Structure 1
Amino acid sequence: MPSSVIHTYVYFPQTEILRITYQSGAVYDYLELPEDVFERFRTVQSKGRFLNYVIKKKFSCCKIK
């Protein structure tokens, strides 16, 4: 399902980084994100809500672009 917030995302299991490209064009890496959390994110209907209420509250991030 398309997201009004997230344009694309990719997960790097070897480094536990979730890279999210927002609709605005901003790119953030969410660090030390376990694969099971990514799998939950991948399957939820509202990725934006999951991002705000689970990922942003528990995992640090860095702006890439």
Structure 2
Amino acid sequence: MPSSVIKYFNYDVATETLKIFFVTGMVYLYKNVPGKIYKMLKASGSKGRYFNSNIKGKYKFQKLGEE
């Protein structure tokens, strides 16, 4: 299901980093995100809601700028 908040995302298993591209054009890199969290985000019916509940504010991040 498309998200009104998240454009797309990808995950690097080796470094446990989750890169999220938001519809606003902003790109953030979340660090030390377990694979389980990525898989649940991928499977979630509401990516934005899952992100807000389970990722935002729970993992260190780096703002990479705009896409």
TM-score interval (norm. to shorter):
over 0.9
Structure 1 stretches of 4+ with a deviation exceeding 4 A read: none
Which sections of structure 2, spanning at least 5 residues, go unmatched? Answer: none
Which one has the bigger helix percentage? 1
What TM-score, normalized to structure 2? Answer: 0.92
d(CA) in 2 for partners of 1:29, 1:57: 13
Which sections of structure 1, spanning at least 5 residues, go unmatched? Answer: none
Report deviation, 1:57.
Answer: 2.9
Which one has the bigger strand percentage? 2
What TM-score, normalized to structure 1? Answer: 0.95
* Paired-residue identity, %: 38
What is the aligned-residue RMSD (CA, Å)?
Answer: 0.7
Query: For 1:16-55, what aligned pairs fall within 5 Å after superposition?
Result: 16-55=16-55
